[in-house]
Amino acid sequence: MTIVVKNKQSLFFDDFKFNCCIGKKGLTKNKIEGDKKTPIGFYSLGNLYYRADRVKKPKTSLKCVKIKKNMGWCNDINNKLYNKEIKIKKGVKYEKLFRNDYKYNYFIPVKYNWQKPEKNRGSAIFIHLTKNYNPTAGCIALSLKDFLILAKLIKKNTKIKIV
């Protein structure tokens, strides 16, 4: 089964239709770091990350990873770990995973620009949480209830198609 994001407010999986939001500047075939666009394409999914200090481990067949205070996602285009999970250290630009807000209480990385990441082609594209469906910086966001339903339904080999 494939998750399909058909437009800026609808995500489909199996017989389910979920409200979602995407990047502030819409969809693109030519993603650039920081452009606030969601990349069009067909991608695999990563592990499910969660804040164990705030939420329960979800019911899912995905591997679950507890988010720690020192975890980040490298968005430094000059770093060899670009678009990978990292241990936070000085001198490296990153997206903080242990956030003060709720958005990353649960998230799943979309394996965009993943195998051999190309510099400046975009990083940290996640399926994460939203409460108000305001546009994201390029991610796909769902309500907590819908995220947990989706997490329960998807498998390790589930793909996402963004059209």
Q: Which domains does the chain have, with CATH numbers?
A: 2-162 (2.40.440)
Given this model, what pLDDT does residue 95 score?
96
Pair 86, 74: CB distance under 8 Å: yes
Short-list 127, 105, 107, 147, CA closest to 18: 147
16-43 pLDDT, tens digit each: 999 999 999 999 999 999 999 999 999 9
Strand spans (E) along 10-121: 10-13, 16-19, 27-28, 38-39, 41-44, 48-50, 64-66, 71-74, 85-87, 94-96, 106-109
Share of the chain above pLDDT 90, in %: 99
Q: Which two tokens stand for residue 13?
A: 């999986």
58-108 pLDDT, tens digit each: 999 999 999 999 999 999 999 999 999 999 999 999 999 999 999 999 999
Pair 36, 149: CB distance under 8 Å: no
